[in-house]
A and B are shown apart, each in its own frame.
Chain A
């Protein structure tokens, strides 16, 4: 399994819209995992200065992450694999 970041431009987005998107992402990931395509939404960060959102997912492939976001109908601009680093891992 790998980690991916999904970048979104969401000008004018509200906390409620983010909550709605989060619930859709969560339920679509759950459904896809039930179908045999394991994908998990880990967490998201909203960047107020740029109105961007960075959402982190764990999945076997980039395509799986893309499908989860399309099924949840959450717009995105870019999906790319990332390498995780934590204070404990260095």
Chain B
């Protein structure tokens, strides 16, 4: 079974458990998160989502239910969007990553709640999906850098939190480095969020003893 079919199966089970006649985008999001979860927890970018907190009983098998469910129009729209994203990604099939990327523009329901509670933006969500996808499946999603001279994978770009962790410093210290120009950073187009190239981290390091 493909990951999207598994996500849909989880989503349908969620709708049945909630006694709903339609599978909506909330159930689809939970289905997608369940597919990429481990021990009931999803780590995407700097965010951690606990399926239990989201109402998913990830350990139990879905109960046999007499409820018959259909996809809602919002779910259809999401599948259509995911199909367009898959085509743009050069994929012949719709994968969970394409469905998840399709949630980036959602501002209502569960996705809207997650955006507000975790400070998620459209672009930061897509970056996190791409990076999670690359880490799990090894797909190298190349992006053009601002000067067009070279390209790198999304795995080469870190959030301030990840960069701070890599340097074992507080994130506020890292942000101070960025503000002062000590550490180069890039801004996501049209967003406040910044990213730091992994290779730029060494610019804030210097030998303890000056080399001659």
Instruction: Please list the residues of chain A having a beta carbon within 8 angstroms of any beta carbon in chain B.
Output: 15-17, 19-21, 23-24, 26-28, 30-31, 35, 67, 70-73
Contact = CB atoms under 8 A, between A and B. Distances in A.
A77 B97 CA distance: 33
Nearest to B1: A30
Given A23-B5, A26-B5, A70-B70, 11 more contacts: A16-B83, A23-B8, A24-B79, A28-B70, A28-B71, A30-B5, A31-B69, A67-B68, A71-B70, A72-B70, A73-B73
Contacts of B80: 16-17, 20
Contact of A19 (B70, B75, B76, B83): B83
Contacts of A21: 79
B71 A19 contact: no
B4 A23 contact: yes
B76 A27 contact: no
12 contacts: A19-B87, A19-B94, A20-B83, A23-B94, A24-B79, A27-B5, A27-B9, A28-B70, A71-B71, A72-B70, A72-B71, A73-B76
Contact of B71 (A17, A35, A67, A73): A73
A15 B87 CA distance: 9
Interface of A is mostly: helix
A72 B68 CA distance: 12
A31 B73 contact: no
Interface in B150-207: none
Closest 6 CB pairs of A and B: A27-B8, A16-B83, A20-B79, A71-B70, A20-B83, A19-B83
B73 A16 contact: no
B184 to A, nearest CB: 38
Contact of B12 (A16, A23, A27): A27
B130 interface: no
B115 interface: no
Contacts of B4: 23, 27
A15 B83 CA distance: 9
A59 B76 CA distance: 24
B101 interface: no
B127 interface: no
A31 B71 CA distance: 12
A23 B72 CA distance: 14
